[in-house]
């Protein structure tokens, strides 16, 4: 029995459907019982029937049955064939991916040269005119060649990444240090990958064949939080002449060196600090509720949510050292949760709203409350999270988040007359994060959330 025939039989039995009624283009949500729980049950059954193990990355990559067939065929090809391989003990584990060197506190960047033997240091910054670069150079205590390069513009684009990569290839560094927010860190990752692999186009980078850490190591010093790039296996960018985001994934994109320094955040406007922290909060909440199972990350999400919620209630002290350090640590934990479990519909919508010049953190603050309310009507996971956090129930938890937004005093009104709702709904449902929402949703559900956002936040 070939893979397709056997898989269709498994799906038929799992969801009580006639094989003749199942299409290869069917996926989660297309069959009555194929919801988020059904997806997990199906994955377990597929692993057992085909004697394979699917990783989190494998599960997230599945759009439909044809994807599952290709995945199973590739896994079967990797199965042991020799007697020595077959006799190896069977292990059942999952991986926790971390930075090699994590320094928390002011001045940790000064340890860079004591940890690494650096001859040529390339520093990518978001703003050369700020005083941060100069003060950091004094802290780093440089002994060798150095080049500081400024990233232009906002979100990473193919053109800008190619410009940075060209400079890397000319300078030939043995260490790349990104100092900035998520766009600077992601730009550094992709330009570094082009330099390492000696290619011109990002399309030439393939995760399974990508070479990293052969020419240079990667380190980051975040000057804001919320992106999670300092602990992420992914790097996002916009293709030229495209409004959408593309993502390159490689676990070696997790920076080897990270310094979380509260002093780097002090000069940011309070509103940006708040919305960046809210982005991190959304990572932790949606990561906990994700369909991807990982009990370590679920517990870390709880710690992260508690820390960030406590910090966001202190908006009058948001620039205090203790508050900033709490947000930095909570955001770092949230980034780990996101990297291992992915997120959900709030992020799917936020990625679309960025096209309307709404920052990612602000977009999540617009969407999260209504997304949680919608999901809570279809799954008990929101209630479980609320109990784990010490709230009475999901309503109590969601209302607490809503009050934090209202009490912040920051403007989150929208002008929805420019929005193309059909395009936003379609884009959100195609977004990779939509696949790990705790329940399978219809287009009408996504539209319902958007209408709730408009009704609540439309500029008067």
Q: Return the pLDDT at 330.
A: 96
Q: For residue 44, give the CATH number of its domain.
A: 1.10.1200.10
458: left (phi over 0), alpha (psi -120 to 50) or beta: beta
Question: In the Cβ-directed half-sphere of 283, how many Cα atoms lie within 13 Å?
Answer: 32
Last residue of a domain, one of 217, 234, 264: 264
Residues 295, 353 within the same domain: yes
H or E element at residue 235: strand 234-238
C-alpha of 282 from chain center: 11
Q: Can you read off the two tokens belonging to residue 242? A: 């495209």
Residues 136, 54 within the same domain: no
Domain of 143 in residue numbering reads as: 101-264
- Whether 271 maps to a domain, the answer reads no
Q: What is the pTM of this model?
A: 0.82
Residues 108, 78 within the same domain: no
| Cα distance between residue 364 and residue 381, in whole Å | 19
At 176, give phi and psi (nearest 5°).
Answer: -115, 125
Mean pLDDT of each 10-residue bin along the chain, 460 residues long: 86 87 86 73 81 74 85 74 49 76 91 92 83 66 84 89 97 96 95 96 80 96 91 88 74 95 89 94 97 89 96 83 93 95 95 90 96 96 96 97 93 90 93 90 96 89
Q: For residue 448, give the CATH number of its domain.
A: 1.20.1090.10
Residues 141, 208 within the same domain: yes
Last residue of a domain, one of 86, 110, 143: 86
Query: Please, which residues have CB within 8 angstroms of residue 172's CB and are 6 or more apart in sequence?
Result: 120, 215
Residues 81, 110 within the same domain: no
| Cα distance between residue 368 and residue 344, in whole Å | 10
The strand pair at 175-180 and 217-222 is best described as parallel
Quick one: angle between helices 295-312 and 394-408, nearest 10?
Answer: 40
- Whether 92 maps to a domain, the answer reads no
- Whether 71 maps to a domain, the answer reads yes
8 A C-beta contact, residue 150 and residue 127? yes
Q: Radius of gyration (Cα) for the chain, nearest Å?
A: 23
For residue 129, CA distances in Å to 133, 135, 148 come to 8, 12, 12
What is the maximum alpha-carbon separation in the chain? Answer: 73
Q: Return the pLDDT at 160.
A: 95
For residue 4, CA distances in Å to 18, 67, 71, 85, 452 come to 15, 11, 11, 27, 42
Sign of CA dihedral 407, 411, 416, 417: positive
Q: Return the pLDDT at 75.
A: 81
| Cα distance between residue 460 and residue 455, in whole Å | 11
Q: Can you read off the two tokens belonging to residue 39? A: 């997806």
Q: For residue 256, give the CATH number of its domain.
A: 3.40.50.1970
8 A C-beta contact, residue 180 and residue 125? yes
Residues 244, 370 within the same domain: no
Sign of CA dihedral 90, 93, 97, 103: negative
Sign of CA dihedral 355, 358, 359, 360: negative
| Cα distance between residue 220 and residue 256, in whole Å | 8
8 A C-beta contact, residue 365 and residue 413? no
Residues 168, 232 within the same domain: yes
- Whether 95 maps to a domain, the answer reads no
8 A C-beta contact, residue 349 and residue 450? yes
Residues 311, 432 within the same domain: yes
Residues 328, 240 within the same domain: no
The DSSP code for 22 is: -
- Whether 272 maps to a domain, the answer reads no
Residues 226, 105 within the same domain: yes
The domain tally of the chain equals 3
Residues 245, 124 within the same domain: yes
The DSSP code for 122 is: E
Where do the H-state alpha helices sit in 342-442?
345-353, 360-376, 381-389, 394-408, 421-430
Last residue of a domain, one of 32, 62, 86: 86
Residues 69, 109 within the same domain: no
């Amino acid at each position: 029995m070939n893979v397709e025939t056997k898989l269709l039989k498994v799906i038929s039995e799992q969801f009580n459907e006639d094989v003749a009624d199942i299409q290869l283009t069917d996926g989660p949500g297309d069959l009555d019982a194929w919801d988020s729980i059904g997806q997990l049950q199906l994955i377990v059954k597929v692993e057992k029937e085909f004697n394979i193990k699917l990783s989190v990355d494998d599960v997230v990559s599945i759009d439909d049955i044809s994807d599952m067939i290709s995945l199973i065929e590739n896994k079967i090809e990797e199965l042991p064939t020799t007697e020595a391989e077959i006799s190896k003990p069977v292990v059942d584990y999952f991986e926790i991916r971390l930075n090699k060197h994590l320094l928390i506190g002011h001045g940790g960047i000064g340890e860079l040269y004591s940890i690494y033997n650096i001859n040529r240091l390339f520093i990518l910054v978001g703003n050369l005119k700020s005083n941060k670069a100069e003060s950091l150079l004094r802290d780093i205590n440089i002994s060798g060649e150095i080049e500081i390069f400024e990233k232009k513009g906002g979100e990473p684009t193919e053109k800008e990444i190619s410009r940075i990569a060209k400079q890397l290839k000319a300078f030939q560094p043995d260490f790349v240090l990104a100092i900035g927010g998520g766009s600077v860190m992601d730009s550094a990752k992709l330009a570094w990958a082009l330099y390492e692999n000696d290619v011109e186009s990002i399309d030439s980078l393939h995760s399974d064949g990508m070479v990293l850490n052969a020419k240079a190591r990667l380190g980051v010093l975040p000057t804001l939080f919320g992106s999670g790039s300092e602990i992420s296996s992914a790097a996002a960018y916009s293709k030229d002449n495209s409004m959408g985001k593309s993502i390159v994934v490689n676990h070696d994109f997790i920076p080897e060196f990270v310094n979380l320094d509260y002093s780097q955040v002090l000069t940011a406007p309070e509103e940006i600090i708040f919305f960046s922290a809210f982005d991190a909060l959304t990572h932790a909440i949606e990561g906990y509720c994700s369909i991807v199972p990982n009990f370590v990350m679920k517990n870390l999400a709880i710690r992260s949510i508690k820390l960030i919620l406590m910090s966001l209630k202190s908006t009058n002290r948001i620039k205090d050292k203790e508050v900033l350090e709490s947000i930095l640590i909570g955001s770092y934990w949230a980034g780990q949760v996101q990297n291992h479990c992915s997120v959900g519909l709030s992020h799917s919508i936020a990625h679309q709203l960025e096209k309307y010049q709404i920052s990612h953190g602000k977009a999540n603050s617009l969407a999260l409350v209504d997304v949680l309310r919608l999901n809570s009507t279809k799954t008990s996971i929101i209630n479980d999270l609320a109990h784990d956090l010490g709230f009475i129930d999901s309503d109590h938890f969601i209302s607490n988040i809503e009050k934090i937004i209202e009490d912040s005093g920051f403007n989150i009104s929208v002008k929805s007359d420019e929005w193309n709702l059909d395009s936003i709904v379609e884009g959100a449902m195609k977004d990779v994060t939509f696949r790990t929402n705790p329940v399978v949703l219809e287009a009408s559900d996504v539209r319902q959330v958007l209408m709730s956002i408009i009704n609540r936040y439309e500029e008067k």
